[in-house]
Structure 1
């Protein structure tokens, strides 16, 4: 997968005093703006209720980096405080196979099958080397796992799922996502494994951004 490449000259942009602050943050092990995360020039829309901090993971089922990140993300998300609203957004950089995987995720979510099917999709693609890139293949896949194929495919092709896909693409554009896995926070910040090096550091940076988001913009 292509990942976002940033050309950030932090020292020049910040000036002398800002450079000292960045150096101090690095020395203390704190995430550094322009190195570990990016502040969006134009805020992205959020859907979380007032008083909650929205955190969005952008992913693609076919991405090996997303597959390896998933267990770390699951463990982290299970411990989030009530004031953090976490959700996933499947990206669609092009129609095939991204678009069909986007529909697959939103159908799984809409039918309340996250616990049973979401991890199985990752496993099917990355461990079992199945191809889930057509409606027929997806129908066979869900049927093998005890899901009513006809009902699933009705939801899969529904207007509601198509609407969710359009909204997901709009949010992906708003965050300027061009690589996954990536995490958006409060419509104001962006971070990723490519900016942090490891899942643990990425999630630590996300925690830092959640705290920043509680302050006035």
Structure 2
């Protein structure tokens, strides 16, 4: 009986250690060039104790769609530690209607109300938002006044927001998305925030969800570093 109990305990420990080994290991101290990069020159951020965090995303991006609920929960937990912003990327002519759509929602103060609905429209309902009419048709069906939205969509103010997004992509050296900018100097993303250094060299494979969870932990560390520097 004692031998059987010892064997069962040993098997349980081996099983547990296997599970732990399979789980992605978050970096205790994220490394520059591995988990994040530093911009050559720090960009201007709002004054105050909150650390600016910017998500560069696209409604058409499937990775952004998967990342959205995790990021939203992370932002909620951060609370007053951060000043959170989003920038819809300017990914060429095909993405322009989506960028203008987001910029219009932002101008009208409707982003939070429709943000997740737009992801669902593209990735669950098959809406492409490929041109202006498709954008305006969806807006009207979603309950937004079409004329009011159309006026804003074509306004100089929204055009200015579109130009600003394009310039910010250049300033922050955004070459894929989702990407996260922290304190105007750190850049990270799920694809950069590898669970461990060995994964960066291709010896381990982790799921997208695991990478995204590790990215959030890297973001925790970078926000903490930026916040400490503000004191």
Give the structure 2 partner of residue 98 of structure 1.
Answer: 95
Give, in angstroms, the shift of residue 83 of structure 1.
3.6
Q: Pairwise mapping of residues 38-77 of structure 1 onto structure 2 (< 5 A)?
A: 38-46=37-45, 48-77=46-75
Give, in angstroms, the shift of residue 129 of structure 1.
1.1
Give the structure 2 partner of residue 30 of structure 1.
Answer: 29
**1:169 to 2:166 alignment:** yes
1:106-155 C-alpha deviation (Å, 9 max, x unpaired):
21122222233211111111111112121100110011111100101111
Native 8 Å contact 2:52 2:82 kept in 1: yes
Give, in angstroms, the shift of residue 215 of structure 1.
4.2
**1:115 to 2:112 alignment:** yes
Q: Secondary structure at the match of 1:36?
A: coil
Give the structure 1 partner of residue 87 of structure 2.
Answer: 89
Cα distance in 2 between the residues matched to 1:97 and 1:120: 20
Cα distance in 1 between the residues matched to 2:27 and 2:184: 26
Native 8 Å contact 1:92 1:102 kept in 2: yes
Structure 2: gaps of 5 or more residues: 1-24, 195-210
> What's the TM-score, normalizing by structure 1?
0.82
1:31-72 C-alpha deviation (Å, 9 max, x unpaired):
1111000011122332x2333211000001100000000010
Cα distance in 1 between the residues matched to 2:124 and 2:212: 20
Native 8 Å contact 2:27 2:218 kept in 1: no
Match among 109, 126, 131 for residue 129 of structure 1: 126
Match among 167, 175, 188 for residue 185 of structure 2: 188
**1:200 to 2:213 alignment:** yes
Give, in angstroms, the shift of residue 28 of structure 1.
6.2
1:189-217 C-alpha deviation (Å, 9 max, x unpaired):
00001112411111111111111213449
After the TM superposition, which segments of 4 or more aligned residues of structure 1 sit over 4 Å from their partners? none
Give, in angstroms, the shift of residue 82 of structure 1.
1.2
Cα distance in 1 between the residues matched to 2:125 and 2:44: 37
Task: Please identify, of 108-117 and 53-62, the stretch whose mean Cα deviation from structure 2 is larger.
Answer: 108-117
Q: Secondary structure at the match of 1:147?
A: coil
Cα distance in 2 between the residues matched to 1:119 and 1:28: 30
Structure 1: gaps of 5 or more residues: 1-25
Q: Secondary structure at the match of 1:87?
A: strand
Give the greater-gyration-radius structure (CA): 2
Match among 136, 140, 148 for residue 137 of structure 2: 140
Give the structure 1 partner of residue 151 of structure 2.
Answer: 154
